[in-house]
A and B are shown apart, each in its own frame.
Chain A
């Protein structure tokens, strides 16, 4: 079965640089979520989109923005990167009629 696809899988950036993470949801899933997971921590909800509109907002820094496109894929844009942004970033997708969120493999971001 098709799963959530995230790219890139690994990313190394310098402080103050920008990064763009991409998420391709499971086919026919119309809702996308972004989570940040620091080492040894629980996933923290950042932001979600339903039918290309922002739906819920969590602890997303002002330096980050995201959007969902017409093909339902989503991108998380991160600017002015800080050392503390180093984490695993997960995208999850869901079908509107169901509740289960399916997580992608994650993008590991390292900020040096």
Chain B
């Protein structure tokens, strides 16, 4: 099955600086890569996703890059703000034609220092 590794487990950055979280996956058939933000005790919320036919996607301060050959993808958050503090999970799945579940990374606890 799929295995997703995520680094770092904890990331502390100064407010206004950028944060980068990296993930690798093992299953070359995976073609859908979402990122979720989860606050303590709350539901995971999608912040951005990318499909394997795209190398990069951006939404305001958030961007995701994908390298299919190396099987890794990264989340970039620029101009970080206190409300960005949360746990971020990357995930991977095969999409299309079925309801494959997401395989998540272990999560990154992002701390924005004021």
Contact = CB atoms under 8 A, between A and B. Distances in A.
Interface of A: 31, 33, 35, 41-50, 55-56, 58, 88, 90, 94, 99-106
Interface in B36-59: 36, 41-46, 49, 51
Contact of A45 (B34, B36, B45, B102): B102
A48 B44 contact: no
B65 interface: no
Interface string B82-114: 000000010000011011111111110000000
B44 A90 contact: yes
Contacts, number: 61
B43 A56 contact: no
Contact of A43 (B42, B49, B89): B89
Given A42-B107, A99-B51, A100-B49, A56 B44 contact: no
Given A42-B107, A50-B99, A105-B42, 17 more contacts: A31-B99, A43-B102, A43-B104, A46-B101, A47-B101, A48-B101, A50-B98, A56-B98, A56-B100, A94-B99, A99-B34, A99-B96, A100-B46, A103-B36, A103-B43, A105-B43, A106-B43
List the 3 shortest-distance A-B pairs measured between CB atoms, nearest first. A45-B101, A55-B99, A42-B104
